[in-house]
């Protein structure tokens, strides 16, 4: 039973419909809602979704998923864009070990950024900062047209399937726009 003024917690207020869903706040001052996190890996040139994951709503889950999604083979160095959540050293260091340059927004609020001048000085960093905002188009489309604002399935397996399927549908929609632009 939830009493007024009592702080809601995952361990004492479990979900009856989705046992893996966790209480999570997107920003300070907002209410905690039950759900999952859905990080997306996007290709910068055309705005396609390259990879998706559905994770439990925990602090480091998005960063851990990012390292897993970019795990790759090859000798060529690539870049990865992201918001301020992707700036901590526990993400930047593993990315550099995989020959991935983290073009993430610097988080200088209440701490020092994990990025240094060798990353932020080149002109490509500024270009990546402009392009990374395109990922918000993916999330916007998935929430409005892809029906992901309020998920109709319960259980992580079903929600993950729906999330990946919706990302694939976005790519199909994006492909028609790119083909139409070339014609």
Q: Determine the pLDDT at residue 155.
A: 85
Residue 78 scores a pLDDT above 60:
yes
Residue 51 scores a pLDDT above 80:
yes
The model's confidence at residue 87, banded by pLDDT at 50, 70 and 90, is confident
What architecture is the 22-182 domain classified under in CATH?
Answer: 2-Layer Sandwich (3.30)
Sequence ranges of the domains in the chain: 22-182
- The model carries a pTM of 0.76
Q: pLDDT digits over 149-162, tens only?
A: 888 888 888 999 99
Q: Are strands 40-42 and 49-52 parallel, antiparallel or unpaired?
A: antiparallel
Residue 57 scores a pLDDT above 80:
yes
Q: Determine the pLDDT at residue 133.
A: 82
The model's confidence at residue 114, banded by pLDDT at 50, 70 and 90, is confident
Burial class (CB in 10 A: 0-12, 13-18, 19+), 106: middle
DSSP 61-117: HHHHHHHHHH----SS-EEEEE-GGG-SHHHHHHHHHTTEEEEE----SSS--S--H
81: nearest Cα among 158, 136, 16: 136
Q: Determine the pLDDT at residue 166.
A: 95
Q: Determine the pLDDT at residue 167.
A: 94
* Euclidean distance between CA atoms 17 and 181, whole angstroms: 44
Residue 72 scores a pLDDT above 90:
no
**What mean pLDDT value characterizes the chain?**
81
Structure tokens at 25: 């706040």
Interval 32-39 mean pLDDT: 85
- DSSP label of 32: P
Q: What percent of the chain has pLDDT over 90?
A: 13
Interval 46-67 mean pLDDT: 86
Residue 145 scores a pLDDT above 80:
yes
Interval 80-101 mean pLDDT: 80
């Amino acid at each position: 039973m939830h009493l007024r003024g009592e702080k809601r917690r995952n361990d004492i207020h479990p979900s009856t419909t989705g046992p893996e869903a966790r209480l999570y706040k997107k920003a300070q001052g907002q209410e905690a809602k039950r759900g999952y996190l859905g990080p997306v890996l996007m290709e910068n040139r055309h705005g396609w979704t390259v990879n998706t994951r559905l994770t439990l709503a925990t602090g480091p889950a998005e960063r851990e998923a990012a390292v897993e999604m970019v795990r790759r083979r090859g000798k060529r160095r690539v870049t990865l864009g992201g918001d301020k959540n992707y700036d901590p050293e526990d993400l930047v260091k593993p990315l550099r070990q995989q020959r991935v340059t983290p073009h993430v927004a610097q988080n200088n609020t209440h701490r020092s950024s994990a990025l240094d001048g060798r990353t932020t000085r080149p002109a490509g960093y500024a270009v990546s900062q402009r392009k990374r905002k395109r990922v918000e188009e993916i999330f916007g489309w998935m929430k409005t047209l892809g029906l992901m604002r309020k998920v109709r399935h319960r259980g992580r397996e079903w929600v993950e399937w729906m999330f990946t399927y919706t990302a694939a549908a976005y790519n199909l929609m994006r492909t028609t726009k790119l083909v139409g632009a070339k014609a």
